[in-house]
A and B are shown apart, each in its own frame.
Chain A
Amino acid sequence: MAKVPVQFTLNGAEKAEFIDSGTTLLHALRDKIGDTSPKGGCHQGTCGACSVIIDGELRLSCLTLAETCNGAAITTTSGLSKGGVLHPLQRAFLDAFATQCGFCTPGMIMAAKVLLDQTPNPSRDEVVEALSGNICRCTGYEPIIQAVLTAARSNSQNAA
């Protein structure tokens, strides 16, 4: 089958690839472009491990066709640290033991990032709602919720 071109920015860098039509964004990111931070858990939209941010919105890369992302700005967890310094959310997840096996972590961090970008000081309920599409089988969720609240506090301290 003829390949189709896709072109978008990934964590600020221009990417252009030829892919098979019908390739999911998850597959394109992991197996063509080499960004393995989005994880393939269920490929059914239920686990959230493949979450990425497309033009500022949280999306499931397993249910998104790569060719529908032409011209988009895509953010993944691998783009968050800058110059070897972890993003406040990544720092907070480590400090709060919010990551155990780590499989859900990149998706959780994407969901949390969208929340904090839009609501810098969320309530606990808002955090729970924002993470409600992401499943974690290890932590019992509480450390993740605390990590997001801690990151929000450290963001607002840095801004003050």
Chain B
Amino acid sequence: MALALQTFSTVKDANAALKSAGTRYLGGGTLVLRAANEGDVSVSSLIRATEPSLSAITVSGSDVRIGASVTMAAIARHPDLAPLAHAARAVGGPAIRNMATVGGNLFAPAPYGDFTVALLALDATVSIDGGEMPIETFLAERESNHAIVTAVGFTLQVDGGFRFLKVSRVKPKGVSVLSIAAMLEQAPDGTVSSARIGLGCMADRPMRAKAAEKALLGRKLTSSGIAPALAAAGDGSAPITDPIASAWYRNEVLPVHLGRLLLA
């Protein structure tokens, strides 16, 4: 069946059009057109919205809002988002980054979704249909979502605390074995006072490593300090098996890479 594209200048009109059967939203198209080229006939109509706010990045103090149509390349080159440049550059090669949007990354199945792993560690909120929800809730329910994501929002401290690591076999561009993002705060004595860790490829979609986060609290970032967190790193995970790595392998190497990220 042929595809048809409908373009709307407002999110409201596009949302109304998305209610029809067989429609899907078109972000950068790197997943949705790939599926169409491969013969996915479940979609007959693509909908897009060109409202300028969807492509805007606003930074006021430490508050950041990134429109859903913003590309990985735009994030990577934005001077106020330097701590996130590494995570944005982890997505695909140069052409993919010029196309891949933040909104689309939120829906990408494992092994994709590297930037969403970063957003999880940042405890971002996802804006949909005039409302906002925590990214964890959004991810848990994303299949049932039929409305356009308009933006993600989070706070980003300039003085650091955010770390990101993508493990891939092909350098510099390759699909994830796994990706890890951590947002850590430390007390003056060096002990961890708050920790959020996002994992990619350790389930069918990005997830939080809650047990490891808890085990880090009050500990110092030394090999012995992080040992309990590494032991708990894979708790609650159900890694994917794909041509890049088996679930077993991902489980085995997760503590190694989490350790490297925490000690870096």
Q: Across the interface, do B5 and A68 meet the contact criterion of CB distance under 8 Å?
A: yes
Pick the residue among A58, A60, A132 that contacts B172 (CB under 8 A).
A132
Q: How far is the CA of A63 from the CA of B38 in the complex (A)?
A: 11
Q: How far is the CA of A4 from the CA of B4 in the complex (A)?
A: 10
Q: How far is the CA of A24 from the CA of B34 in the complex (A)?
A: 11
- Interface residue A128 (Cβ < 8 Å from any Cβ of B): yes
Known A24-B37, A44-B38: A1·B2 in contact at CB below 8 Å: yes
Q: How far is the CB of A69 from chain B (nearest CB, A)?
A: 12
- Interface residue A57 (Cβ < 8 Å from any Cβ of B): yes
Q: Across the interface, do A128 and B99 meet the contact criterion of CB distance under 8 Å?
A: no
- Interface residue A121 (Cβ < 8 Å from any Cβ of B): no
List residues of chain B with CB within 8 A of the CB of A64. 29, 33, 99
- Interface residue A88 (Cβ < 8 Å from any Cβ of B): no
- Interface residue A22 (Cβ < 8 Å from any Cβ of B): yes
Q: Across the interface, do A62 and B37 meet the contact criterion of CB distance under 8 Å?
A: yes
Besides A67-B7, A132-B172, 15 more A-B contacts (Cβ < 8 Å) are: A1-B2, A22-B4, A22-B5, A24-B37, A44-B34, A57-B98, A59-B98, A63-B30, A63-B34, A65-B29, A68-B7, A68-B48, A130-B94, A132-B173, A133-B94
Number of A residues whose C-beta is below 8 Å from B?
29
Within 8 A of B (CB), among A42-85: 43-45, 48, 51, 57-60, 62-65, 67-68
Nearest CB in chain B to that of A134: its residue:
B93
Known A63-B30, A65-B33, A132-B172: A48·B4 in contact at CB below 8 Å: no
Q: Tell me if A's interface is mostly helix, strand, loop or mixed.
A: mixed
Nearest CB in chain B to that of A62: its residue:
B37
List residues of chain B with CB within 8 A of the CB of A111. 94-95
Pick the residue among B28, B73, B95 that contacts A51 (CB under 8 A).
B95
Q: How far is the CA of A21 from the CA of B35 in the complex (A)?
A: 17
Q: How far is the CB of B38 from chain A (nearest CB, A)?
A: 7
Q: Across the interface, do A45 and B96 meet the contact criterion of CB distance under 8 Å?
A: yes
- Interface residue B46 (Cβ < 8 Å from any Cβ of A): yes
- Interface residue B3 (Cβ < 8 Å from any Cβ of A): yes
A-B residue pairs in contact (CB < 8 Å), sample of 28: A1-B4, A21-B2, A21-B5, A22-B3, A22-B36, A24-B37, A43-B38, A45-B92, A45-B95, A57-B73, A58-B95, A59-B99, A60-B95, A63-B30, A63-B37, A63-B99, A64-B33, A65-B33, A67-B5, A68-B7, A68-B48, A111-B94, A129-B94, A129-B172, A132-B94, A132-B172, A132-B173, A134-B93
Known A44-B38, A63-B33, A63-B34: A20·B93 in contact at CB below 8 Å: no
List residues of chain B with CB within 8 A of the CB of A51. 95
Q: How far is the CB of B211 from chain A (nearest CB, A)?
A: 35
List residues of chain A with CB within 8 A of the CB of B28. 63
Nearest CB in chain A to that of B32: its residue:
A63
* A residues lining the B interface (CB < 8 Å): 1, 4, 20-22, 24, 43-45, 48, 51, 57-60, 62-65, 67-68, 111, 114, 128-130, 132-134
List residues of chain B with CB within 8 A of the CB of A21. 2-5
List residues of chain B with CB within 8 A of the CB of A1. 2, 4
Q: Across the interface, do B5 and A65 meet the contact criterion of CB distance under 8 Å?
A: yes
Q: How far is the CA of A67 from the CA of B95 in the complex (A)?
A: 19
Q: How far is the CA of A129 from the CA of B89 in the complex (A)?
A: 10
Q: How far is the CA of A140 from the CA of B28 in the complex (A)?
A: 31
Within 8 A of A (CB), among B14-68: 26, 28-30, 33-34, 36-38, 46, 48
List residues of chain B with CB within 8 A of the CB of A114. 94
List residues of chain B with CB within 8 A of the CB of A24. 33, 37
List residues of chain A with CB within 8 A of the CB of B96. 45, 60, 133
Q: How far is the CA of A111 from the CA of B173 in the complex (A)?
A: 14
Q: Across the interface, do A43 and B99 meet the contact criterion of CB distance under 8 Å?
A: no
